[in-house]
């Protein structure tokens, strides 16, 4: 049953001088108004803290009729969070059912999302309640992940120790194509990777990481060339220090010329050059003159070549200097060519002896 009275007089003294004279039932009836004001919300919270049983027996029933309105309020959300904190298992279960049609509207709201986070905190130790909540949230999981506020809700779920969080993890992997394409989604995937990495390192069981990396690898051409996804790949490469990383590196090396010439994936190739194990393999590919020229004469690839020049030994750099000299005429015809030549001459004065012959 939902309690509420739409005929309550809304004319409440702004200074709340009469609040202390009201009994708890009167306060509960006015809670949908009081909670949306700073002092009123704080007053109600103090009442509940002084007698937690009132959260379940009185304030919770009266809040349901105005639940979304109060939850999405900058002050009201603190009042609702306080109620949820003291709810018993039975009422938490009812609340999960009640919230089912409101998940998206609350979860994507700056204040309402805090209510969902508090609910997760309250049910985290009960696998059955966690499962019930996940089942309600699952149809909208990608919408929440890609939302500035909703993404925090999913992060709270994957931090849980509950066995049922695997359902969320599997859903993330299944829908990865819809996730990496947003800033929030890419950031969540980085956090997801960190959680898996920590778990695997602690247990020495890398099955879950292998599954995750294989999903990433199968979608690598899309993710690595994406404006947000490329940060995910760089994060994985930087933090995954075992042989599982070879899967991604081999894919990148096999397509290094293509990735070097794309706006976002070129940053990933530069990142790979900082890895001792794979630097030599990438530079070996660049040692083929036709590949070098293909990358060097590209508006994005030339930055990769500049990175290579800064890290190779002098004998190898001299070989690359010859490649640059051979392609200098073509380079000067490109929009970025004159600026690149000037930059190279400043960084490598030796080039001037050959470039203008």
pLDDT, one tens digit per residue, over 78-121 is 999 999 999 999 999 999 999 999 999 999 999 999 999 999 99
Q: Does the CA dihedral 211-232-193-182 come out positive or negative?
A: negative
On the question of pLDDT at 4 being above 50, the answer is no
Please give the average per-residue pLDDT across 246-263, as a whole number. Answer: 94
Please give the average per-residue pLDDT across 263-267, as a whole number. Answer: 98
In the chain the first and final C-alpha atoms are separated, in Å, by 90
- Tell me what pLDDT residue 166 has: 95
Integer angstrom CA distances of residue 320 from 90, 141, 155, 179, 337: 71, 49, 46, 40, 17
Confidence of residue 322 (pLDDT cuts 50, 70, 90): very high
Confidence of residue 355 (pLDDT cuts 50, 70, 90): low
- Tell me what pLDDT residue 300 has: 98
- Tell me what pLDDT residue 2 has: 38
Percent share of the chain, pLDDT over 90: 85
**CA dist., res. 332 & res. 308, Å (int):** 21
- Tell me what pLDDT residue 275 has: 85
Tokens of 356: 């203008």
Please give the average per-residue pLDDT across 340-345, as a whole number. Answer: 93
On the question of pLDDT at 5 being above 50, the answer is no
| Alpha-carbon dihedral angle through residues 127, 128, 130, 131, given to the nearest 10 degrees | 110
3 or 259: which leads in pLDDT: 259
- Tell me what pLDDT residue 63 has: 96
Integer angstrom CA distances of residue 329 from 297, 298, 316, 355: 11, 14, 22, 9
- Tell me what pLDDT residue 8 has: 40
**CA dist., res. 261 & res. 2, Å (int):** 61
Q: What is the pLDDT of residues 155-212, one digit of tens each?
A: 999 999 999 999 999 999 999 999 999 999 999 999 999 999 999 999 999 999 999 9
Contact 184, 148 (CB under 8 A): yes
On the question of pLDDT at 310 being above 50, the answer is yes
240 or 283: which leads in pLDDT: 283
- Tell me what pLDDT residue 14 has: 47
Tokens of 45: 């919270």
**CA dist., res. 64 & res. 80, Å (int):** 10
- Tell me what pLDDT residue 15 has: 47
- Tell me what pLDDT residue 67 has: 97
User: Model's pTM, two decimal places?
Assistant: 0.90
Integer angstrom CA distances of residue 181 from 15, 17, 221, 258, 345: 49, 52, 13, 20, 39
Q: What is the mean pLDDT of the chain?
A: 92
Please give the average per-residue pLDDT across 58-67, as a whole number. Answer: 96
- Tell me what pLDDT residue 351 has: 83
On the question of pLDDT at 353 being above 90, the answer is no
Phi, psi of 239, rounded to the nearest 5 degrees: -110, -10
């Amino acid at each position: 049953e939902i309690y509420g009275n739409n005929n309550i007089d809304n004319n409440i003294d702004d200074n709340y001088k009469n609040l202390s004279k009201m009994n708890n039932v009167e306060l509960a009836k006015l809670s949908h108004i009081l909670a949306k004001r700073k002092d009123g919300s704080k007053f109600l919270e103090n009442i509940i803290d002084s007698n937690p049983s009132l959260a379940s027996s009185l304030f919770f029933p009266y809040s349901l009729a105005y639940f979304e309105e109060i939850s999405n309020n900058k002050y009201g959300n603190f009042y609702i969070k306080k109620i949820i904190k003291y709810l018993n298992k039975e009422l938490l279960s009812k609340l999960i059912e009640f919230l089912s049609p409101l998940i998206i509207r609350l979860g994507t709201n700056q204040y309402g999302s805090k209510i969902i986070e508090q609910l997760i905190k309250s049910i985290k130790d009960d696998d059955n309640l966690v499962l019930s909540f996940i089942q309600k949230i699952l149809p909208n999981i990608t919408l929440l992940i890609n939302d500035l506020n909703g993404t925090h809700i999913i992060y709270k779920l994957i931090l849980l120790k509950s066995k049922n969080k695997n359902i969320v993890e599997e859903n993330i992997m299944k829908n990865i194509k819809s996730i990496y394409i947003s800033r929030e989604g890419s950031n969540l995937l980085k956090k997801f990777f960190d959680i898996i990495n920590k778990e695997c390192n602690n247990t020495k069981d890398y099955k879950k990481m292998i599954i995750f990396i294989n999903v990433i690898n199968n979608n690598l051409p899309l993710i690595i060339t994406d404006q947000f996804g490329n940060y995910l790949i760089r994060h994985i490469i930087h933090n995954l220090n075992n042989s599982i990383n070879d899967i991604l590196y081999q894919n990148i090396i096999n397509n290094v010329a293509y990735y070097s010439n794309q706006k976002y994936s070129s940053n990933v190739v530069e990142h790979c050059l900082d890895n001792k194990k794979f630097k030599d393999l990438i530079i070996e590919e660049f040692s083929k003159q036709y590949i070098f020229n293909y990358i060097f004469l590209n508006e994005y690839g030339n930055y990769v070549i500049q990175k290579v020049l800064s890290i190779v030994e002098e004998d190898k750099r001299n070989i690359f200097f010859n490649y640059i000299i051979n392609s200098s005429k073509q380079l000067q015809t490109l929009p970025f060519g004159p600026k690149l030549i000037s930059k190279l001459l400043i960084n490598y004065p030796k080039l001037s002896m050959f470039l203008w012959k």
